[in-house]
Amino acid sequence: MDMDTVIDAARLRRFMERAYRAEGFSGDEAAQIADVLMQADLFGIESHGAQRMMYYHRNIASGSVAIGAQPEVLRETPVSALMDGHFAMGQLTARRAMGLAIEKAKKSGVGMVAVRNSSHYGIAGYYTLMAEREGLASFSMTNTGPIMTPTFGREMMLGTNPLAFCMPADPVPFWFDASTTVVTLGKVEVYAKRGKPMPEGWTIDADGRTCTDAQRMNRSILAGEPGGVLPLGGEGETHSGHKGYGLALMVEALTGVLAQGLMAPEMCGAHGDHTSHFFLAFDPGLFGDAQAIRAQMSRYLAMLRASAPAPGQARIYTHGEKAFEAQALRLREGVPVEANTLRELDEIAAELGIGSV
Q: Does 224 bind a copy of itself (CB under 8 A)?
A: no
Ramachandran sector of residue 148 (left: φ over 0; alpha: ψ -120 to 50; beta: rest): beta
**β-bridge partners, 81:** 76, 113
Q: Does 247 bind a copy of itself (CB under 8 A)?
A: yes
Residue 79 corresponds to which amino acid? V
Q: Does 256 bind a copy of itself (CB under 8 A)?
A: yes
- Which of 248, 247, 181 lies closest to 47 in space, CA to CA? 181
Sites for a copy of itself among residues 70-109 (CB under 8 A): 75, 77-80, 82, 108-109
The distance of closest approach from Cβ of residue 267 to a copy of itself in the complex, given in angstroms and rounded to an integer, is: 13
Among 22, 66, 73, 257, binds a copy of itself (CB under 8 A): 257
The CA-based diameter of the chain, rounded to the nearest angstrom, is 55
Give the x-and-dash track for 149-168 against a copy of itself (CB under 8 A): xxxxxxx-xx------x-x-
Identity of the residue, 234 or 269, whose beta carbon is nearer to a copy of itself in the bound complex? 234
Instruction: Kindly report the backbone phi and psi dihedral angles of residue 335, in degrees, each rounded to the nearest multiple of 5, phi listed first.
Output: -105, 120
Q: Please answer whether residues 148 and 229 qualify as being in contact, where contact means their C-beta atoms are separated by less than 8 angstroms.
A: yes
DSSP 331-354: HHH-EEE-HHHHHHHHHHHHHHT-
DSSP 16-34: HHHHHHHHT--HHHHHHHH
Sites for a copy of itself among residues 284-343 (CB under 8 A): 284, 286-288, 292-293, 296-297, 300, 303-304, 307-313, 315-319
Identity of the residue, 186 or 233, whose beta carbon is nearer to a copy of itself in the bound complex? 233
What distance in Å separates the CA atoms of residue 186 and residue 191, rounded to the nearest whole number? 9
The residue range among 32-40, 86-94, 241-249, 341-349 that interacts with a copy of itself, by the rule CB under 8 A, is 241-249
Q: Does 212 bind a copy of itself (CB under 8 A)?
A: no
Sites for a copy of itself among residues 117-156 (CB under 8 A): 137, 149-155
The residue range among 89-97, 216-224, 252-260, 342-350 that interacts with a copy of itself, by the rule CB under 8 A, is 252-260
